[in-house]
Structure 1
Amino acid sequence: MGAGVVLAASFPKIGIAGFAWIAPALILLSAIGKSPKQTFRIGYAAGFAHYLVSLYWLLLIPVTGFPILGWFALAVYLSLYPALWVWLSWRMFPARMDSSAGTSTFQAWSEQFLSVPWSRRMAWCLFSAAVWVALEMTIARLFSGFPWNLLGSSQYKITPLIQIASITGIYGVAFLAVWTSLSILCAVMVIIRKPTIRSAWIGEIILPAAVLLALYGSGYHKLVQPERQRPELKVALIQPSIPQTEIWDRQESSNRFRQLIELSGQALTNEVDLMIWPEAAVPGLIRMDDDISQPILDLARKHKVWIIIGADDFKPHPGAVKLSDSDFYNSSFLVSPEGEFVASYRKRNLVIFGEYIPLAKWLPFMKYLTIITGSFTPGDRVVPYFLTDLHTRISPLICFEDVFPDLVPEYVSEDTDFLVNLTNNGWFGEGAAQWQHAAAAVFRTVENGVPLVRACNNGLTCWIDSAGRMRQIFRDAQGSIYGPGFMLARIPLLEPGEKRIPTFYHQHGDLFGWTCVGITVIQLLRVLLQNRKVRRAGTTQPVENTVDKS
């Protein structure tokens, strides 16, 4: 379980990025020489520790009981993936690792390990890295997906290296980390087996080291290129820092809305083209309540400013006679300087148990597993926002939509100036969720070659350039990312008539990831066929590429 804690520490807030390059090896090392069932259990224990630690912020949701249940249940589910990775990685190892009595020492294990030729050890490292990626691809999609804390996101600060994501997506960074980690494991085995030969271990890491050096150098060269002078959009990002308990408290609606208007007025004393409010900033249904909509429209008219806001929306069912006979949406709205609602976007990827209850019609008891009393309806399309007089095209995302690698390319076209994410992580207090969310968002900019502006309720409000560099982060007077205030930023735009050059990832999506899935399926079928041969032969002894069941 200690290896799982090391892995968790590679992510924010602790954020020791180097731990991601050793944790996979530590997890596999803890299962060396074990039976298949034991390797699965060890991988599960490591994964369970990792997810309990890295997702601790779920416990900060300000209600009783449900956070503990959700935190525990999510860890129980997600831990299956590292368990599968450890099990399949050792099943693919091209030699038996004998754990019988008298041989269960690192010296003996290293001898068995190194009995495999270098080329096959290196292939094993590459195959295991591919399996890791394949499992992350599954996490990102199964049960509506939860691509949170994918291994690559731990490296968000190492901007030269993460430029590879413009080709492979975030999964390429994870592949490099796991490949390197297992190559280090091979080097350690060489050192244990041949301690007197100082340079023997170099051969184990020279290939991944050379690849890393080349990729880092290429990324660095890209980042140091002179930047073109571009037209800029002057943006005010409002961070109201509304406690989640107040968002749920209808009696506080008027008070928090008044404070939001006052904060916006302070921001608009500056010359601003666009003002952005976060998700859940507006209480109630904005299109139904003039007491809410009119102050916003008046603000736009008075200051001649475009406004993007996060608010709930609804669509009545045919023949509806009451409000409850409607579909409700987590939405954003674009308000023009003339004080008119000119566009709206409805969130497409909803949070399970946070914004909708799965299978509620068929499994009514599911409603008791969450604090929400109703469900949002997902939107059905991308809606770009056009600031017509400023010749600017923006694509809005809501909440954790910016953590999905396969979703965001749909929002980027050749004339998209930048993405906007409106989010509310106030559910999770002042924890690591805000940093972890922003770390994942960094990769969407590299993958698609487009800047991202993030307006958040209580952090992390920032803007990230097209190379994944956090150019500006909001901090309050005390230096905290969580407090109320506003941030002024200048966002570079495309030149009139300029078309954005698409990245390889934007054009081809998860080609690298699906390749890893294909490799994993082939290896899994190979293991299953070997097991079938063993059973048909009527022996309990494993064949080559399997592990003893002692």
Structure 2
Amino acid sequence: MLGIRERRGAGAGEGGGQDPGRERGKRQRTAGARPAGRWLWGAGAALLIPAVHSNWHLAAAAWLFPVFLLRYARLRPARHGLLRVGYALGLAQLAWLVSTGMVFVPSVLAVFAGLAVVQTLPFVADRLVAARSGAVWSTLVFPAVLVCGEYLFTRLAGFGDYGALGFTQHGFLPLVQLASVTGVYGVSFVVAWTASVAHWAWQRGFRWREIRRGVVVWAGVLAVVLGAGGVRLVAFAPTTKTVRVAGISAGRAAVRAGERALHTAGTELWRPRNLVRADPRRVRAALAPVADDLVAATDREARAGARIVVWPETQARVLAADRERLLARVAGIARKRQVYVDTAFALYTPRPPHVRNVAALVTPEGKVAWTYDKTHPTPMEPMMPGRGEVPVTGSPYGRLATVICYDADFPALMRRAADRGAGLILVPANDWAGFESLHAQRAVFRSVEYGYAMVRQSVHGVATAVDHQGRVRGSADYFTADRQTLVAEVPVQPRTGTLYSRTGDLFALLCAGGTLLVVALGVRGRRSVAGVPAAGGGRR
């Protein structure tokens, strides 16, 4: 029965069969694990805060924090250790909510409390299943369950693909290329697996003879991933044929003039219901400065050589009765300068909820190629959602498509543009201080996943132009300029698609299957442990 006692020791902590005596193990945990556990938890929690994807995140922290929390969870009694790990994950989510200013939105608080629970599950699986085995395969438990949790959160929570660990690696382009095969989930897996292997080696005292096989396998896989990413960047680099794209925002003077006019007309006009019922002349006077400035900026950038101009989300605000007049002004510029203009505006209508979030593409022929309503309004936007039909149209610069801001956080919606052969996707956006960089960084992954370039013009945030391999071709920070203008030469790339755009979330589904296997092993293990006394009786 020695093997049974060894297995018990490994399941209780980090024992791995090295201390089969129950009393001795108990003394070790009491005398040694608690002091060690304190600093392990502190180190993991301290690294976890900058590991959450935020304006101030550190890419390296995402690789490191799980090592310490995995170690802590193994050393402590399961209930106590895992609760403390969940507590650390909850604190990290709270810090993120505070930093982004979303801590005051009740629905968001509830969703991210659920995310913290989901993020705790990989540590639970490692503690209760992987700890029973010293085999190399046990290092796969943590990353497989982590990716499964990310995927299920994306599919079920209705909050986009937030919480994915891989987004923190947006600047590591050789690794990011993996997203063209697996989506962001593959990058999350590699980062989490690295932490799991590091913990596995630490548990064995980094004794090379014991860890050699596992480390060689991990290093080989990582070398293949990074090597293939490097080859993709070099051998399949974007074409040198480019199109000049300009993203424009209204200048601060026009914005201030509009705010003064609104204040003079009456503060009640900030409410859409009141605005559509007010005197149209007062409303037009209040909304005109920003719209006029955007029209003038469109003409200016077109004269400077831009062939595509993108407006930001809802900075322009238009009464339904004035929509055609605004588009006619833009159409005159589009015909004269032979440019495509993706206008975007808040459209105020007589029907509740009285406002639509719209993008309308005006072609060089002066026609409106599409009118698109935002599919996924944020919890802070009382707007009627669109039907989710991503518009695509042909152009000399490849097939153009559009979504609006938050829409780009939903991979399934973005796949629809890829399915229709889009080569360049235009994204009017509107962010805020505390969130200004996050969407810009996520755009890197969307472009790599689906193989199209993206121009994201974000007022109150960082505007970016990204090619199909995730290279940032241009950026403009709203908060560092009086007039935010993004100008970039974007490669005109015939879209050939990516493996991810064809197979979808196959990798994430495989991880979900692996999670079911982990659950089965956990149930079997608990039954086996429960049956030991009856089988062994007094023979021990």
Q: Shorter-chain TM-score: which interval?
A: 0.7 to 0.9
Q: Distance in 2 between matches of 1:285 and 1:35?
A: 63
1:514 matched to which residue of 2? Answer: 509
| Bigger helix share | 2
Q: Distance in 1 between matches of 2:299 and 2:89?
A: 47
Secondary structure at the residue paired with 2:370? strand
Secondary structure at the residue paired with 2:408? helix
Asked whether the 8 Å contact 1:281–1:309 carries over to 2, the reply is: no
2:295 alignment partner, one of 244, 247, 261: 261
1:33 matched to which residue of 2? Answer: 75
Q: Distance in 1 between matches of 2:208 and 2:362?
A: 67
Asked whether the 8 Å contact 2:197–2:214 carries over to 1, the reply is: yes
Asked whether the 8 Å contact 2:361–2:370 carries over to 1, the reply is: yes
Query: Aligned letter for 2:85?
Result: G
1:299 alignment partner, one of 309, 333, 337: 333
1:47 alignment partner, one of 89, 93, 110: 89
Instruction: Verify: 1:77 aligned to 2:114, yes or no.
Output: yes
- Following superposition, the deviation at residue 481 of structure 1 comes to 5.7
RMSD of aligned residue pairs (Cα, Å): 3.3
- Following superposition, the deviation at residue 201 of structure 1 comes to 5.1
Q: Distance in 1 between matches of 2:534 and 2:92?
A: 34
2:31 matched to which residue of 1? Answer: none
Comparing 224-233 with 507-516, greater Cα deviation is found at 224-233
Please report the TM-score for the alignment, with normalisation by the length of structure 1. 0.76
2:446 matched to which residue of 1? Answer: 444
Give a deviation string over 1:409-441, Cα, whole Å, max 9, x none: 21114742211222110xx32x2x232212222
Secondary structure at the residue paired with 1:519? helix
Q: Which runs of 5+ in 2 are unaligned?
A: 1-40, 263-268, 276-282, 536-540
After superposition, residues 353-502 of structure 1 pair within 5 angstroms as 353-355=379-381, 374-387=382-395, 390=396, 392-413=398-419, 415-425=421-431, 428-429=432-433, 431=434, 433-475=435-477, 484-494=483-493, 500-502=495-497
Query: Aligned letter for 2:69?
Result: I
Give a deviation string over 1:307-329, Cα, whole Å, max 9, x none: 10122458xxxxxxx92268854
Query: Aligned letter for 2:376?
Result: N
Give a deviation string over 1:330-383, Cα, whole Å, max 9, x none: 2210112343323112222332x223xxxxxxxxxxxxxxxxxx4423324121
Query: Aligned letter for 1:397?
Result: V
2:233 matched to which residue of 1? Answer: 223
- Following superposition, the deviation at residue 475 of structure 1 comes to 4.6
After superposition, residues 294-373 of structure 1 pair within 5 angstroms as 294-313=328-347, 323-324=350-351, 329-351=356-378, 353-355=379-381
Q: Distance in 2 between matches of 1:539 and 1:470?
A: 62
2:18 matched to which residue of 1? Answer: none
1:141 matched to which residue of 2? Answer: 155
- Following superposition, the deviation at residue 19 of structure 1 comes to 1.2
Asked whether the 8 Å contact 2:457–2:486 carries over to 1, the reply is: no
Asked whether the 8 Å contact 1:329–1:376 carries over to 2, the reply is: yes
Query: Aligned letter for 2:312?
Result: P
- Following superposition, the deviation at residue 280 of structure 1 comes to 0.9
Secondary structure at the residue paired with 2:343? strand
1:184 alignment partner, one of 180, 198, 205: 198
1:67 matched to which residue of 2? Answer: 104
Larger Rg, first or second structure (1 or 2): 2
Residues 229 and 175 of structure 1, relative CA distance in 2, 3 Å threshold: closer
1:6 matched to which residue of 2? Answer: 47
- Following superposition, the deviation at residue 529 of structure 1 comes to 5.4
- Following superposition, the deviation at residue 40 of structure 1 comes to 3.6
Asked whether the 8 Å contact 1:239–1:461 carries over to 2, the reply is: no
Asked whether the 8 Å contact 2:317–2:347 carries over to 1, the reply is: no
1:546 matched to which residue of 2? Answer: none
Q: Distance in 2 between matches of 1:76 and 1:522?
A: 26
Residues 161 and 339 of structure 1, relative CA distance in 2, 3 Å threshold: same
Q: Distance in 2 between matches of 1:21 and 1:204?
A: 18
Query: Aligned letter for 2:300?
Result: Q
1:235 alignment partner, one of 223, 241, 245: 245
Residues 481 and 23 of structure 1, relative CA distance in 2, 3 Å threshold: farther
Query: Aligned letter for 1:354?
Result: M
- Following superposition, the deviation at residue 394 of structure 1 comes to 0.7
Asked whether the 8 Å contact 2:315–2:346 carries over to 1, the reply is: no
Q: Distance in 2 between matches of 1:325 and 1:149?
A: 33
Residues 533 and 407 of structure 1, relative CA distance in 2, 3 Å threshold: farther
2:179 alignment partner, one of 144, 153, 165: 165
After superposition, residues 124-139 of structure 1 pair within 5 angstroms as 124-139=138-153
- Following superposition, the deviation at residue 157 of structure 1 comes to 0.7
- Following superposition, the deviation at residue 175 of structure 1 comes to 0.6
Residues 124 and 484 of structure 1, relative CA distance in 2, 3 Å threshold: farther
